[in-house]
Amino acid sequence: IPTIKKKYQVNKSINKRIFIHDGSVTELECDCIAISVDKNLSTNKFGSIVKYGGEEIVAAAAKLAPQKEGSVVEIDGFNLPCDKLLLAVPPSGRESEESIQLLRQCYVNVLKLIEERGYRSFAIGALGNDSIRID
């Protein structure tokens, strides 16, 4: 059986701090929150994000639009309890090998940005949960 070289060692202390939050991400105090948006970085379907974060979120996102599927951009959290908001663009349309790869790339790009920025606390929503149609 081949062994897999792991980039990071298992850290039981960290594993105890990972949890699933059943509620609104607008309640989480953390460095950043990642949410799904469309290619035009529209936050229309995330009324609570704009309601609690402020209209500045819409304006900041609009300045960076459009983006490719699989990409992630960062804006200020404004009135949210997080410092930054990561806008992830999952694929849309029917499930396909390409859309699965783009969704995977979306998560990878979120995690890379979190690592690059040195964020220590973050929340990642279910990216693409309403964007890929599975028949």
Q: 14-24 pLDDT, tens per residue?
A: 667 777 888 88
Tokens of 73: 């951009």
pTM: 0.82
Query: What band does 41 get if pLDDT is binned at 50, 70 and 90?
Result: confident
Of 48, 28, 50, 37, the closest CA to residue 122 belongs to 28
- What's the pLDDT at 89? 93
Mean pLDDT of the chain: 85
* Token pair in block for residue 2: 């081949």
Joined together, the tokens standing for residue 85 give 């908001």
**pLDDT greater at residue 127 or residue 131:** 127
Please write the tens of the pLDDT for every residue from 43-100: 666 678 898 999 999 999 999 999 999 999 999 999 999 999 999 999 987 788 888 8
Contact, 15 vs 68, CB < 8 A?
Answer: no
Give me the pLDDT at residue 24, please: 84
What stretches of 7-67 adopt beta strand conformation (E)? 32-36
Alpha carbon 115 to its chain centroid, in Å, reads 13
> Which amino acid, one-letter code, is at 122?
F
Count how many Cα atoms sit within 13 Å of the Cα of residue 16 in the half-sphere of its side chain.
Answer: 3
Calpha distance 122→28 (Å, rounded):
9
